Amino acid sequence: MWCSRMALRRLQKIAVTPLNITGSLTSNIQREMSTLPRIYVTRQIPPEGLKILRESGQVQFELWNSDDIPVPRKELLQKVKGVDGLLCTLTEKIDAELLDAAGPNLKVLSTMSVGFDHLSLDELKKRGIRIGYTPEVLTDAVAELTVALLLATSRRLIEATHEAKTGGWGTWRTLWLCGYELANSTVGILGLGRIGVAIAERLAPFKVKKFIYTDVAPRPELASVINAEYVSFDELAKQSDFLAVCCALTPETKEICNKNLFSKMKKTSIFINTSRGGVVNQEDLYEALSTGQIAGAGLDVTVPEPLPTNHPLFTLKNCVILPHIASASYTTRDAMSSLAANNLLLGLRGQPMIKELKL
């Protein structure tokens, strides 16, 4: 027993460096290894999650050992062959081609994200593959970043620091770098869920006058937490001084923020998106921002990601663009990593996951 635990520990250490997996193992260890479910981790996820996998003694895993470069598709298609479980991030497209490459052993997929637009849900359902994801643990970080982005956009912070650094700062001027304030404003939320509520809770102390929201149907329980009024899509556009997009990207919400929405918004309104770039028609947004149809936009998400540095949106002073960092706090990324690892292990044991996407 002692021997086999030692062997297992050695195995778990070796298994994280893919090239070494079998090279230096004794035949005993190899036999033991072959009985453990095989999983592939598509990214060097934060250490908490890897520790959970390593110390579980439940799986042998291979890892794409980089955080800077996503695993190339060709490599991914090779590596998933025959795995029982897959832990991925939002940069990997999990579609029919990949699931076919993985084959019938694949029973559990765990994504280290709350969004699941990178997953072909129909294909996963068809194959009976269970899905874990990471909602809730990132709500605070995303809400906090959304507020930061909203203020940076509406109070023109990026323009202001640029002016200060590059000699544009002359005498104090009465209307220079004026923006829009939250006090007495109407804040609209497109897609009210946990994150929308958390954003509103953080904005309320800024003396917001009214919260409004729209969704496929009223969500009275959530709305009552922030005293938000349900309105139509058009009313949301017309009334919002600040419009925060919080809906998931689905076929129904794809490019829902387009010229129809922007043309109804106030010239003084600020548009904020921390959900997915795909919910916005970026050509229409460029048009709205460059013609003064709306006052500004703050985007944490774009299509594609990364957004090419020569993209027209980067030429606009009234557009603040962040590189998809809403959940990027150490605490949250560790929590997402742990949750993704635990979801995977529970799924492989045939137990309910902590956060499972029910199809």
Ligand X SMILES: O=C(O)C(=O)CO
Residues 280, 223: contact at Cβ < 8 Å? no
DSSP of 24-77: T--HHHHHHHHHSPEEEESS---HHHHHHHHHHSS-EEEE---SSSPPPHHHHH
Using CA atoms, how far residue 24 sits from 15, 19, 21, 30, in Å, is 11, 10, 8, 10
Our CB check for ligand X shows the closer of 287 and 356 to be 356
Our CB check for ligand X shows the closer of 88 and 294 to be 88
Q: Which residue has the tokens 């001084």?
A: 241
Our CB check for ligand X shows the closer of 33 and 199 to be 199
Tell me the per-residue interface mask from 40 to 79 with ligand X, x by CB under 6 A, - otherwise: ----------------------------------------
What the block records as the tokens of 176 is: 């220079």
Our CB check for ligand X shows the closer of 12 and 273 to be 273
Our answer to whether residue 311 is catalytic in this structure is no
Our CB check for ligand X shows the closer of 159 and 300 to be 300
Please tell me whether residue 327 binds ligand X under the rule CB under 6 A. yes
Q: Find the catalytic residue in 118, 162, 311, 324.
A: 324
Beta bridge partners of 272: 244, 298
Please tell me whether residue 113 binds ligand X under the rule CB under 6 A. yes
Taking contact as CB under 6 A, which single stretch among the options 64-72, 109-117, 226-234, 310-318 is the one that binds ligand X? 109-117
For 161, counting Cβ atoms within 10 Å of its Cβ (0-12 exposed, 13-18 middle, 19+ buried), the class is exposed
Selected from 18, 70, 115, 312, the binder of ligand X by CB under 6 A is: 115
Please tell me whether residue 302 binds ligand X under the rule CB under 6 A. no
Question: Is 145 in a helix, a strand, or coil?
Answer: helix
Residues 312, 139: contact at Cβ < 8 Å? no
What is the footprint of ligand X within residues 260-299 (CB under 6 A)? Answer: none
Question: Is 286 in a helix, a strand, or coil?
Answer: helix
Please tell me whether residue 80 binds ligand X under the rule CB under 6 A. no
Selected from 326, 339, 340, 345, the binder of ligand X by CB under 6 A is: 326
Selected from 14, 88, 114, 249, the binder of ligand X by CB under 6 A is: 114
Residues 71, 92: contact at Cβ < 8 Å? yes
Please tell me whether residue 138 binds ligand X under the rule CB under 6 A. yes
What the block records as the tokens of 4 is: 């086999």
Taking contact as CB under 6 A, which single stretch among the options 58-66, 108-116, 147-155, 176-184 is the one that binds ligand X? 108-116
Please tell me whether residue 253 binds ligand X under the rule CB under 6 A. no
Question: Is 156 in a helix, a strand, or coil?
Answer: coil
State the catalytic residues: 324
Q: Which residues bind ligand X (CB under 6 A)?
A: 90, 113-115, 138, 326-327
